[in-house]
Structure 1
């Protein structure tokens, strides 16, 4: 497949990733620019390295350094990290001209399909995660779980206490929970 066609395919794939999957689902505008910039930057570097005598190992090392710097510069959720590495992968696959003609397009398609399915809003829609600040200091774990289930109206799967303040009578807890089918129907009916 001609290199320009692969570059165009990469741009189409990253557009689907960013404008078709990420932004409609998460609405974080600042990361749209980051994903596009990372993809095009990696595409440009990988394209120039693939036609030079510099080894691909050096190029991959540069991408690793780039990703470490980017991931340490701001706090990203895990799904945003997945989109970030998907944009990187698409940029690396863009200049991939060795091998069968179908390889790079198929791998790009695989990345997009996995991101579409893995981040689909209906997948695990009843499972939630929140950090709550309770207005009392709860030390007893059983009492904490009971209070959280009462407040949330859901089944608590995991509660991780982040801080207990005995002076101000507060508890900060990260909660992973799920609603039953009945609770989800009631919630959607109230909207």
Structure 2
């Protein structure tokens, strides 16, 4: 398959990834620019330098170096990391896909399909993660889980205590839970602090 056709397929694929999947689901504009820039940048560099003798090494080198630079710049949520690596992989597959005529397009389609299904809003939609600050110091894990379930109106699956302050009588926890059908959180059971964001 001609390389220009592969380049065009990559551009269509990254547009589907960014504008068809990521932005409608997460609405973070700055990462739209990052994903497009990473993809097109890798596509341009790999397309210019790719040769049969350095193709595989070049792809792995670009993948490693760019991921270190990007992941050290700002903190990303895990789903944003997945989109980042998907955009990077699409950019590498364009010029370095090699093999049969449909190998690279097939791998691109596989990436899009996995991201569509793995980040689908209906997948584990009842599961959440939050960081909470409770207005009491609780050192007993059973009592802590019971208080969190009362506060959230949910079933708590995992709790990680980040800080217990016996002076100010507060407990900071990271909790992973799933909402019970028809349950509403009890507003008076504690006071939630800044949340780390809900994750499906």
Q: Same fold (TM over 0.5)?
A: yes
Give the length in aligned residue pairs.
Answer: 184
Q: Is the 8 A contact 1:49 1:56 kept in 2?
A: no
| CA deviation after TM superposition for structure 1 residue 167, in Å | 1.1
| CA deviation after TM superposition for structure 1 residue 66, in Å | 1.3
Q: Is the 8 A contact 1:137 1:165 kept in 2?
A: yes
Q: Is the 8 A contact 2:155 2:179 kept in 1?
A: yes
What whole-Å deviation, never above 9, does each CA across 1:162-181 have from its counterpart, x for those lacking one? 11111111111000000133
1:144-163 to structure 2, matched below 5 A, reads 144-163=144-163
| CA deviation after TM superposition for structure 1 residue 97, in Å | 5.2
Q: Which runs of 4+ in 1 moved over 2 A?
A: 51-56, 180-184
Report the Cα distance in structure 2 between the residues aligned to 1:90 and 1:62, rounded to whole angstroms. 12
| CA deviation after TM superposition for structure 1 residue 52, in Å | 7.5
Q: Is the 8 A contact 2:156 2:175 kept in 1?
A: yes
Distance 1:132 1:117, change over 3 A: same
The two structures, once aligned, show a CA RMSD in angstroms of 1.5
Report the Cα distance in structure 1 between the residues aligned to 2:180 and 2:153, rounded to whole angstroms. 9
Could you state the TM-score of these two structures normalised by the residue count of structure 1? 0.91
What whole-Å deviation, never above 9, does each CA across 1:120-170 have from its counterpart, x for those lacking one? 000000111111111111111111000000000000000100111111111
User: Which 5+ residue runs of structure 1 have no aligned equivalent?
Assistant: 185-191
| CA deviation after TM superposition for structure 1 residue 5, in Å | 0.8
Aligned to 1:135: 135
Aligned to 1:12: 12
